[in-house]
Structure 1
Amino acid sequence: MGRYTGPKGRINRRLGTAVFENAGATRALDRRDFPPGQHTRRKKVSTYGLALQEKQKIKYYYGLRQGQLRIYFDKARRTKGNTGEQLLILCERRLDNVIRRAGLCKTRPQARQGIAHAHFQVNGRTVKSPSFLCRPGDVITLRNRPGLVKLYKEIVEEVVGQPADWINSDPKGLTATVATLPSFEDVSLPVEVGQVVAFLSR
């Protein structure tokens, strides 16, 4: 199964977090901050269910498939340091996330679409893989096409939020430079990553 393309508002309500940032999905969570469904009475969620919810937050927030998340988890487990923190740092380094955190797109799905359509370059080379892991010193630019420049200048004007501290962003120039690797404190997703590690270690 590919990435999720269904109703985003339902996922935000189910997980109780704005994992999808588009206006309709965030509005759905603000209006009805309870899970979707006909019955208002909810059963107590098991430990397994809570861990599953935390894992789903990461999947939907970063637009990952189960196999991709497993690959990141295995890589994080082989890296020195806390496995959960390393997992989220790997997700933060994805090109689609960096473009979103730099303020060049309004949402991660929008950034992912732009990358797939060859709108962006890294160090002067066109990259079409949203999962490309950025490193310190990488310079992300928009391809020099008049139509793209006009489109993204309009997008940048509507972006909400400040760029991440570990990214030197120039929204007016439509460029961004990865200054350092992100730390766990830079992760913008509220998630109990310890439960995710326990879940994926089963």
Structure 2
Amino acid sequence: MSRYTGPKARINRRLGAMIFESAGAAKASDRRPNAPGMAPPVRKMSTYGESMREKQKIKYYYGLGERQLRRVFEHSKHAEGDTGTQMLVLCERRLDSVVRLAGFTKTRPQARQGVCHGHFTVNGRHCDVASMTVRVGDVIHVKRRGGLTDLYGGNLAAFDGQAADWLHVDSERLMITVTRLPAKEDVTLPVNVQMVVELLSR
């Protein structure tokens, strides 16, 4: 699950959301928006089926395995506030998610690959752990070596969106600063997380 390499448009169509953002997946999803199969399903999906679908959204979107997701859930249960919101906030605070939200990459898998290959530093230290949770005040830099500055500088220049409000991006120095923790309204994935919480609580 954490390294899904199959047809991405198929996942987008099955889950009814733009989970994978690559151009090819987006084009294929637009061309065939219905779920995979010979025809649209006749029977209504059960509550359990809907809960599983929402859980799959989180797993594919953030690149989590089942054990990773349950670890995030257990951590969220002991945090202050709503468990579902805390789950999504923890996922948004992953280092690979921050790199994507800042506009340094075009997709989350690309961000994950860049982090795992050691293209970034956190507070001046080498980091190649995509699941690292960032904190307020953390500073993420693109390493000044090889063609990394050209790669990520080019991606940032071509980024047609807007960086997350809780991040400050310095395009000249290729630097990201975490100015605050994300809130519920900052979560980028449209998902019914309460159904996921109920499913994982069984």
**Range class of TM-score, shorter chain:** over 0.9
Partner of 2:117: 117
Is 2:2–2:63's contact at 8 Å kept on the other side of the alignment? no
**AA paired with 2:61?**
Y
Aligned-residue offset at 1:29: 1.8
Residues 148-192 of structure 1 show CA distances to partners (whole Å, capped at 9, x for unaligned) of 111222222332310000000123431100000111110011001
**AA paired with 1:107?**
T
- Aligned-residue sequence identity (percent) comes to 55
Partner of 1:158: 158
Residues 106-140 of structure 1 show CA distances to partners (whole Å, capped at 9, x for unaligned) of 11100100011110000001100000000000000
Deviates most, 25-34 or 89-98: 25-34
**AA paired with 1:158?**
A
User: Which ranges of 4 or more aligned residues in structure 1 deviate by more than 6 Å?
Assistant: none
Is 1:13–1:35's contact at 8 Å kept on the other side of the alignment? yes
Aligned-residue offset at 1:80: 1.3
Q: Distance in 2 between matches of 1:58 and 1:75?
A: 16
Residue 168 of structure 1: SS of its match in structure 2?
strand
Partner of 2:189: 189
Residues 58-103 of structure 1 show CA distances to partners (whole Å, capped at 9, x for unaligned) of 0011111111000000000011110000000000100000011111
1:32 and 2:32 are equivalent in the alignment = yes
Residue 176 of structure 1: SS of its match in structure 2?
strand
Is 1:120–1:142's contact at 8 Å kept on the other side of the alignment? yes
Q: Distance in 1 between matches of 2:147 and 2:95?
A: 22
Q: Distance in 1 between matches of 2:90 and 2:38?
A: 38
Is 1:103–1:159's contact at 8 Å kept on the other side of the alignment? yes
Aligned-residue offset at 1:2: 4.7
Q: Distance in 1 between matches of 2:194 and 2:24?
A: 30
Q: Unaligned stretches of 5+ in structure 1?
A: none
Change (3 A) 1:171 1:37: farther
**AA paired with 2:23?**
A
Superposed counterparts of 1:13-162, under 5 Å: 13-162=13-162
1:199 and 2:202 are equivalent in the alignment = no
Residue 69 of structure 1: SS of its match in structure 2?
helix
**AA paired with 2:80?**
K
**AA paired with 1:81?**
G
Aligned residues: 202
**AA paired with 1:22?**
S
Q: Distance in 2 between matches of 1:57 and 1:2?
A: 12
**RMSD after superposition:** 1.2
Q: TM-score, normalised by structure 2?
A: 0.96
Q: TM-score, normalised by structure 1?
A: 0.96
Residue 56 of structure 1: SS of its match in structure 2?
helix
Q: Distance in 1 between matches of 2:11 and 2:100?
A: 20
Is 1:13–1:28's contact at 8 Å kept on the other side of the alignment? no
